[in-house]
Amino acid sequence: MATVATSLRRHSNVREQLSERVVAVFLVGATLVGLLALVVLLVTVARSGAGQIDVPFLRNFASRIPERAGIWPPLVGTLWLMGLVTLFSFPVGVGAAIYLEEFAPKNRITSVIETNIANLAAVPSIIYGLLGLAVFYRALEMGRSLLTGALTLTLLVLPVIIISSREALRAVPRSHRLGAMALGATKLEAVYKTVLPSAVPGIMTGTILGLSRAIGETAPLLVAGAAAFVAFTPDNLLDAYSALPVQIFDWVRRPQPEFQALAAAAILVLLGVLLTMNSIAILIRNRYDRKTR
C-alpha cells in the first residue's frame, strides 16, 4: 500500500509551488507600494513642514513675506466648510437613502434616479465647481461666499453618502423590519427604531469617507470662488472665505522655497483636522456599534 504512505506528501509540483510564491510576493508588494507611498509622503511633508508649525503660523493671516504668513483664515474657513457641509449633507443624504431604500416604490423612475446617483459619484470634482459657480455663485447670487463653497461641496459628497447609507440600510436583515411590524410598529417606526440604529455604523463610515473627500478638495472651491487671500475670518455665511487646500495650492505654486515649507506645514495641519474629524466619527460609530450588538 505504497500509495497511502505517500498520500500526505505535497502533491503539487515545483511549478505550482513557484507560481503560488510569485502571486504571494506580488500581493504583498502591491500592499507595500501604497503603504510606502504614504510613508514617503508623510515623512517628506513632515520634515519640511513640521518645524513651521507654531502658534503664530496658526494665528497669522496670509502675507507676501513668508515669515509672517499664517493659515488662520483658511483654517477657520475649512472648519466652517466642514461644519456646514456636515449640516447640509448628512440629513439630506441619509434622508434620501432612507426614502430610496425603505419607502420608494420600485419602478422606472426610482431606478433612473438610482443610476443617476451612482453616476454622480464618479463625476470629476471640478464639474461640481462649475455647477456651484453657475447655480450658487451666479444664479442665486451668493457670490464668493462660504455658503457657495459649502453648498458646492455638499453636492459633491451627497452621492457618496447616499450610496453608502443605502448599503448600510440594505445590510440590516429584513427579519428586523418584519419583526417590528409584526409587533404593531408602523413602517416609519420600524425604520427609525430598528433599522436605522443598526445602520448607523455603516452610515457613519460613508459620511466620513464623503467628508474626508470634501475637506481635501481644491478644484471645486477654486472654481466656485474661494480666495487665497482674505484679510479676515468669515463670521457669517455670505462672507468671503479661504480654505486650507486652496491656501496650500497657492503656496505650492510659488517659486520661493520658504513658501514650499509653509505649504508642507499647512498640509500637516489639514491632515490633523482630517484625523480629528475621523476619530470623532469613529468614536460615535463604535458607540453605536456596541449599543446595537
Partner 1 sequence: MNVMTQRPNVLAPDLEDLVNEHETSVFEVRDLTASYGATPAIENVSLDIFDKKITAVIGPSGCGKSTFIRCFNRMNDLVAGAHVGGKIFYRGEDLYAEDVDAVEVRRRIGMVFQQPNPFPKSIYDNVAFGLRVNRMTDHLDDRVEKALQDAALWDEVKRKIKDPASALSGGQQQRLCIARALATNPDVLLMDEPCSALDPIATTKIEDLMHELKADYTIVIVTHNMQQAARVSDLTAFFSVEGSAETDRSPRGVLVEYDTTEQIFTAPNDRRTEDYITGRFG
What DSSP string describes 237-272?
TTS----HHHHHHHHHHSS-HHHHHHHHHHHHHHHH
Three-state DSSP class for 35?
helix
Is 180 within 8 Å of 190 (Cβ atoms)?
yes
**How many angstroms separate the CA atoms of 248 and 219, rounded?**
12
Q: Min. distance of Cβ 198 from partner 1 in angstroms?
A: 5
Q: Quick one: which segment of 131-139, 186-194, 245-253, 274-282 binds partner 1 (CB under 8 A)?
A: 186-194
Q: Quick one: which segment of 27-35, 169-177, 209-217, 262-270 binds partner 1 (CB under 8 A)?
A: 169-177
Q: Min. distance of Cβ 210 from partner 1 in angstroms?
A: 25
Is 214 within 8 Å of 85 (Cβ atoms)?
yes
Q: According to the binding rule CB under 8 A, does residue 185 interact with partner 1?
A: yes
Q: Quick one: which segment of 171-179, 209-217, 239-247, 248-256 binds partner 1 (CB under 8 A)?
A: 171-179
Residue 39: CA count within 13 A, CB half-sphere: 6
Place of cell 455647477: 131
Query: Residues 18, 28, 109, 183: which binds partner 1 (CB under 8 A)?
Result: 183
Residue 266 neighbours by CB distance under 10 Å: 28
Q: According to the binding rule CB under 8 A, does residue 173 interact with partner 1?
A: yes
Query: Residues 12, 116, 186, 256: which binds partner 1 (CB under 8 A)?
Result: 186
* 3-state helix, strand and coil shares in percent for the chain, rounded to the nearest 5: 75, 0, 25
Q: According to the binding rule CB under 8 A, does residue 104 interact with partner 1?
A: no
Is 81 within 8 Å of 270 (Cβ atoms)?
no
Size of the site for partner 1 (CB under 8 A): 20
Query: Residues 198, 218, 242, 247: which binds partner 1 (CB under 8 A)?
Result: 198
Name which of 156 and 168 has its Cβ closer to partner 1: 168
Q: Quick one: which segment of 1-9, 30-38, 44-52, 188-196 binds partner 1 (CB under 8 A)?
A: 188-196
Query: Residues 48, 148, 152, 194: which binds partner 1 (CB under 8 A)?
Result: 194
**How many angstroms separate the CA atoms of 213 and 267, rounded?**
15
Three-state DSSP class for 82?
helix
Q: According to the binding rule CB under 8 A, does residue 193 interact with partner 1?
A: yes
Q: According to the binding rule CB under 8 A, does residue 109 interact with partner 1?
A: no
Q: Min. distance of Cβ 189 from partner 1 in angstroms?
A: 5
Site string for partner 1, 273-292 (x = CB under 8 A): -------------------x
Is 239 within 8 Å of 76 (Cβ atoms)?
no
Task: Provide the binding-site residues for partner 1, judged by CB under 8 A.
Answer: 106, 173, 175-176, 178-186, 189, 193-194, 197-198, 292-293
